[in-house]
């Protein structure tokens, strides 16, 4: 039997995933800050200390105007933030 068939099959886990983080619109609403950046989220404990890239996903609702600096957002989350009067940079 060839070696590649004898060895057990295992999945792939990216080592860079530990540097990515997600935050929801509901968590941004609970945070209550007018301007949000990565340091704000780390100090509030919403993302891990190792996070380098943060992205907002649309889960929940947001009613306060929030300005995001250095944070990405999905298309639906960006539309929800801008509808509430906020902005994404």
Report pLDDT digits (tens) over 3-19: 999 999 888 888 889 89
Structural domain boundaries, residue 73: 15-88
**Residue 48 confidence (pLDDT) above 90:** yes
Q: CATH number for the domain including 55?
A: 3.100.10.10
Number of structural domains the chain divides into: 1
Q: Is residue 2 part of a domain?
A: no
**Contact call for residues 45 and 64 (beta carbons, < 8 A):** no
- Rounded mean pLDDT of 59-81? 94
Which two tokens mark 51?
A: 């996070």
**Contact call for residues 1 and 35 (beta carbons, < 8 A):** no
Q: Is residue 57 part of a domain?
A: yes
Q: Is residue 4 part of a domain?
A: no
pLDDT for position 32 = 87
């Amino acid at each position: 039997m060839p070696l590649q068939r004898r060895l057990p099959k295992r999945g792939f886990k990216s080592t860079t995933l530990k540097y990515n983080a997600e935050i929801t619109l509901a968590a941004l609403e609970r945070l209550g800050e007018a301007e949000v950046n990565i340091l704000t989220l780390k100090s509030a404990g919403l993302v891990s200390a190792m996070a380098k890239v943060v992205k907002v996903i649309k889960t929940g609702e947001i009613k306060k105007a929030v300005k995001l600096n250095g944070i990405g957002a999905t298309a639906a989350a960006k539309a929800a933030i801008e509808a509430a009067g906020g902005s994404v940079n």
